[in-house]
Amino acid sequence: MSHILLIIGGGIAAYKSLELIRQLSKAGHKVTPVMTESAGQFVTPLSVSALAGKKVHEALFDLTSEAEMGHIRLSRVADLVVVAPATADMMAKMAQGRASDLASTLLLATDTPVLIAPAMNVRMWDHPATRRNLATLKADGIAVVGPDEGEMACGEYGPGRMSEPAAILAAIEAALLPADRPLSGRHVLVTSGPTHEPIDPVRYIANRSSGAQGAAIATALLRLGARVTFVTGPASAPPPEGAEIVAVETAAEMLAAVKAALPADAAIFAAAVADWRVTQASGRKIKKQAGALPGLSLAENPDILARVAGMAVGRPDLVVGFAAETDDVVAHATAKRARKGCDWIVANDVSPGTGIMGGTENAVTLITEEGAEDWPRMAKRAVAERLAKRVAEALAAGGRTASGGRV
Find out whether 340 is annotated in a ligand binding site: yes
For every residue of 60-90, DSSP letters joined together read: TT-HHHHHHS-HHHHTTSSSEEEEEEE-HHH
Angle between helices 128-139 and 88-96 (to 10 degrees): 50
User: Quick one: which H or E segment has residue 168?
Assistant: helix 165-175
Q: To which H or E segment does residue 387 belong?
A: helix 380-398
Contacts of residue 126, Cβ cutoff 8 Å, sequence gap at least 6: 158, 159
The separation between the first and the last C-alpha atoms of the chain, rounded to the nearest angstrom, is 29
Is there a binding annotation on residue 275?
yes
User: Do residues 33 and 47 lie in contact, with contact meaning Cβ atoms separated by under 8 Å?
Assistant: no
Residue 342 is among the residues annotated as catalytic for this protein = no
Element (H, E) at 228: strand 227-232
Choose, from 1, 50, 135, 154, the residue flagged as catalytic.
154
Paired strand residues for 204: 198
Residue 327 in marked binding region: no
Q: Indicate the angle between helix axes 380-398 and 212-223, nearest 10 degrees.
A: 50
336 is in an annotated binding site: yes
Compute the distance between CA of residue 234 and CA of residue 373 in angstroms, rounded to an integer. 31
**At residue 290, what is the residue type?**
A
Residue 305, marked binder: yes
**147: cis peptide before it, omega within 30°?**
yes
Q: What is the pairing mode between strands 80-86 and 143-144?
A: unpaired
30 belongs to an annotated ligand binding site: no
Cα separation, 260 vs 98, in Å, equals 58
Integer angstrom CA distances of residue 305 from 127, 251, 334: 60, 11, 15
For the chain, the farthest-separated pair of C-alpha atoms sits apart, in whole angstroms, at 82
322 is annotated as contributing to ligand binding: yes
**CA–CA dist 192, 180 (Å, integer):** 27
Residues in CB range of 80: below 8 A, 6 or more apart: 2, 3, 4, 5, 112, 113, 114, 115, 172, 175, 176
Residues making up the annotated binding site for CTP are 275, 285, 302-305, 322, 336, 340
Q: Known binding site: residues?
A: 275, 285, 302-305, 322, 336, 340
Residues catalogued as catalytic: 154
